[in-house]
Amino acid sequence: MTDYPWGPGTATGVGSWPGDDPAEALRTALGEVPELPYLPELPARGVGADLVGRGAGLLVELPVRVEPSGWRFSDRPGRDTQRALDHLARDLDVLEELAGGHDGPFKIQVTGPWTLASAIELRNGQRALKDPGAVRDLTASLAEGVARHVADVRRRLPRATLLLQLDEPALPAVLAGTIPTASGFSRLRAVEEPIAEDALRQVIEKAGEVFPLVHCCASRVPFGLLRGAGAKAVSVDLSLVPKRDDDAVGETIDAGVGLFLGAVPGTDKGLPSLQATGAPVRDLWRRLGFRPEQLARQVVITPACGLAGASPRYARAALKRCRDTARMLHEAAE
């Protein structure tokens, strides 16, 4: 069986968190999911703390700015890029202060190249995704920036085993050709799978000695493509994985790739019971015919997606429910 950096019966968070206090958010992650804590992201802080802005801030020699329509490439670095860098620097200072001695697995998250390319605009207002040359430049720039970010985190957590999560919620739409143009009246051409796979592989390989995973909280997750790109785990919203994907999921499990299964709602919908939370996970495993003890080792339980849209009270309860569900599934397999 594959040697995963986490132990049996593990839970973690996806990434985003409510509020604007990085110290409080990190303390919660360290306390509620201590087996696999992560660096929370706080988009409520505003420009540069959002999914796209945080990723754009990592780009090397590709400055960006905010326009009324969203993020756009610019000629020189400005205050919007600086805000993104300042938010990240503050998060890393807090990380070093509160978790500098952490000696287990620890997860960080960055926006993937295809989600960035589908969101950042060229100087003419078109999405970068429309221009293959711009996508290649963005991918190379992001790969370099992610490598620097990983090195920075490693200096601050010298004893930790780092997991790098690429967030790619837009990837299925990129592959399906359903990303709208700037006008909104048509759609951008679909990207071929080998091209999409290669871009992800560039970022993963450039990152160096990390355990790479890809998070995609959308339907039609391209499991095979993500494996081919080098992802050692795939993170999904379990409620969006239909039975027609059983073959792809089974092949992923058979290949030893970890599964981060989003089993807890990400917004204040009311937490299901512990048994109801674990039932879809058990059902998937039984349907595919894998051993129960393998589930406890290969699967990590998470919220369905980020928790930025939840109340702080619910977000904390959701992480606790993930941890309790993971432990329950592990105990049932013993």
How many structural domains compose the chain?
1
For residue 128, is it within any domain?
A: yes
Whether 81 is covered by a domain: the verdict is no
Looking up tokens 């969101």 gives: 119
| Rounded CA separation 13/86 (Å) | 23
pLDDT score at 334:
67
Is residue 5, in this structure, part of any structural domain at all? no
**Residue 156: predicted pLDDT:** 98
Name the β-bridge partners of 260.
Answer: 235, 300
How many Cβ atoms are within 10 Å of 31's Cβ, its own excluded?
12
Residue 230 in tokens: 């080098």
49 located within any domain: no
Work out whether strand 211-216 and strand 161-167 pair parallel, antiparallel, or are unpaired. Answer: parallel
Given a cut of 60, whether residue 1 has pLDDT beyond it is: no
In the chain the first and final C-alpha atoms are separated, in Å, by: 17
Identify the pLDDT of residue 309. 94
Domain annotation covers residue 84: no
User: What CA–CA distance (Å, rounded) separates 18 from 98?
Assistant: 19
User: Tell me: the pLDDT tens digits for 190-218?
Assistant: 999 999 999 999 999 999 999 999 999 99
For residue 194, count CB atoms less than 10 angstroms from its CB and return exposed for 0-12, middle for 13-18, buried for 19 or more: exposed
Q: Measured between alpha carbons, how far is 10 from 114 in angstroms, rounded to an integer?
A: 29
Each residue of 244-293: pLDDT tens digit? 999 999 999 999 999 999 999 999 888 999 999 999 999 999 999 999 88
* Structure token pair of residue 321: 């429910």
Report if residue 160 sits inside a domain.
yes
282-289's contacts with Cβ under 8 Å and 24+ in sequence apart are: 282/329, 282/332, 284/238, 284/241, 284/249, 287/243, 287/246, 288/246, 288/249, 288/250, 288/253
Question: Is residue 295 in some structural domain?
Answer: yes
Residues 6+ apart with CB under 8 A from 251: 223, 224, 227
Indicate if the pLDDT at residue 24 is higher than 90.
yes
Residue 76 lies in a domain: no
Neighbours of 58 (CB within 10 A): 22
Domain encompassing residue 187? 10-41+97-333
Q: Which of 250, 251, 279, 284 shows the shortest CA–CA distance to 264? A: 279
Identify whether the C-beta of residue 159 lies closer than 8 Å to the C-beta of residue 101. yes
CATH code, domain with 237: 3.20.20.210
The whole-chain average pLDDT of the chain stands at 95
